[in-house]
Amino acid sequence: MQHVIAVQVENKPGVLARISSMFARRGFNIHSLAVGPTADPSLSRMTVVIDGPEMEQIIKQLYKLVHTVKVTELSPNEAIEREIMLVRIAADPKKRGEMLDAASIFEARAVDVGANTLTFEVSGDPKRLADFLELMRPYGIVDLAKSGRIALPRAAKSKRAEPPQLRTA
C-alpha cells in the first residue's frame, strides 16, 4: 500500500540526506520525493511516497531526527495531490491532430514539436497522469519525466474555521 508522508523540516543542509537514508536503512523504497519551501522561509516541506505496511514506526523515527518539525501521513481522501509530467510521444504527422484532440481532454499542453515527436506537459493528480499515459501509449512513448508528488491536507469545510495563520519565529 502506498503512503504519502508530509514532513516539515528545518531548512538546513543535509536534512534531505538524513531523511532519505533513514528510509533506506529500514528497507523502504521511495517512489516519489519532492522538497520545497513553505510560507516560512526557515522551513521546507518534504512529500515522500513509499510502499509499506503501517507507517506508525516510520513516523516515530522521523520525529527522532534533529531537524524534523512535524510529520503527517496524508490519506488520499484528506489530501490534494499533484504531479507534473513531460512526455514525448512518437507523432506521425498524419496523427498529430488526433493526438492533440486526445490531449485536450486532459488539458495537456503541447510544449515542443519535433519532426517525428510531440512533447506534452500535463499536471494533476497521479491517476490523471496515469490515464493520460495509457491514452498515449498506443502512439509510442519516446521519453518521460515526472516530478515528485506534492500534497497538502484538504482545508476544513466548517463555516467556523479560523482563517489560516502564518507561523512566525
pTM value > 0.75 = yes
Three cell numbers written together for 91: 507523432
Q: Alpha-carbon distance 51 to 31, whole Å?
A: 8
Is 109 a residue whose pLDDT tops 90? yes
Domain positions in the chain are 2-74, 80-150
What pLDDT score does 22 carry? Answer: 92
CATH of 80-150, one of 3.60.20.10, 3.40.50.850, 3.30.70.1150, 3.40.50.150: 3.30.70.1150
58-97 tens-digit pLDDT: 999 999 998 999 999 998 888 999 999 999 999 999 999 9
Q: Do domains 2-74 and 80-150 have the same CATH topology?
A: yes
Rounded to the nearest 10 degrees, the angle between the axes of helix 15-25 and helix 56-64 is: 140
Q: Return the half-sphere exposure (C-beta side, CA atoms, 13 A cut-off) of residue 5.
A: 31
Query: Which CATH number describes the domain made up of 2-74?
Result: 3.30.70.260
